[in-house]
Amino acid sequence: MITHKSRVALLAVSVLLTGCGAGAAAAPDDEPGAPGPRVTGEPRPDAALAPAPRKLPGLGPRTWDKVPADARQAVVVTGRGRDSEHSTVVLHERTAAGWRAGPGWPAHNARRGWTEQHVVGDLRSPVGVFTLTDAGGLLPDPGTRLSYGQGSGFTISGTGFEGEPLAGSFDYVIAIDYNRRTGTSPLDLTRPMGAGRGGGIWLHVDHGGPTQGCVGIAKENMRRLLLALDPKRRPVVVMGDAASLAR
């Protein structure tokens, strides 16, 4: 008979195997004759009036077409290269004037980079546009508007690819809706496309090294993201290496 503790352990191991491993710049000097000093980091008047882009920057027509028309929040994960483990995460908010970008956060993606046909064990993160509906973690809900489940199933130990400790990586997670059943815990093992296509692809706390397939950002940024995302704004994640996203 499978005990509760055994089930929790199996869930954590399954996630490990199929998915996760799992300040403003200073303003330029004032020009001669400028009317008084400018506060560091304050935008210039002409920059403040610049129109927001009507579509997400860096996306080509093929990728942009996959962004739902009703999406008002987009987490854009831009990989440094096809085979790179390094990426940048930016939360974009859609307004009446266009898309407004937040700060860029450094991130880790899968050890071998990116792929359009993710399968179990390829150590690549899936390229695509996916909804964000469910979250959870080892720590209590910080106040997110997403569905959030806390539990010991998010416990993880051991070390990553570079010997870094994995403990705490799942303190906060957001399930990326790749090959999963939405409206369920990130720990749910349902795989609509089949187990061979992987799953358990999350945004989670960065452990300082590449992942099995997830995207890791700093703990404070995960908390900010959880507090910012609003299901009424139909949040999505747009993820992939820069070249793929530009198609």
Cβ burial 138-163 (10 Å sphere, 16+ → b, else e): beeeeebebbbbeeebbebeeebbee
How confident is the prediction for the chain on average, in pLDDT?
Answer: 85
Question: What digits encode the pLDDT tens for the residues 35-91?
Answer: 333 333 333 333 444 678 889 999 999 999 999 999 999 999 999 999 999 999 999
Question: What digits encode the pLDDT tens for the residues 168-184?
Answer: 999 999 999 999 999 99
Query: Of the candidates 218, 181, 156, which has an alpha carbon nearest to the alpha carbon of residue 15?
Result: 156
Q: Can you tell me which residue has the tokens 């993710």?
A: 118
> For residue 153, what pLDDT is reported?
98
Question: What digits encode the pLDDT tens for the residues 115-132?
Answer: 999 999 999 999 999 999
User: 235 pLDDT exceeds 90?
Assistant: yes
Count of beta carbons in the 10 Å neighbourhood of residue 230: 14
Cβ burial 197-217 (10 Å sphere, 16+ → b, else e): bbbbbbbbbbbebbbbbbbbb
User: 139 pLDDT exceeds 50?
Assistant: yes
> For residue 1, what pLDDT is reported?
43
Greatest Cα pair distance, the chain, in angstroms, is 81
> For residue 51, what pLDDT is reported?
73
**50 versus 110: which is more confidently predicted?**
110
Token pair, residue 55, equals 């579509």
> For residue 7, what pLDDT is reported?
42
The alpha carbon dihedral of 56, 94, 148, 192 has a sign of negative
All residues at 6 or more sequence positions from 85 whose CB lies less than 8 Å from its CB, including other chains: 108, 109, 110, 111, 112, 113, 209, 210, 211
Query: Of the candidates 191, 190, 188, 186, which has an alpha carbon nearest to the alpha carbon of residue 204?
Result: 186
Q: Can you tell me which residue has the tokens 């990326």?
A: 176
Instruction: Tabulate helix, strand, coil % of the chain (nearest 5).
Output: 20, 25, 55
Bridge partners for 61 per DSSP:
none
From residue 139, give the alpha-carbon distance in Å to each of 136, 155, 223: 8, 10, 11
- Percent of the chain predicted with pLDDT > 70: 80
Mean pLDDT, residues 96-109 taken together: 97
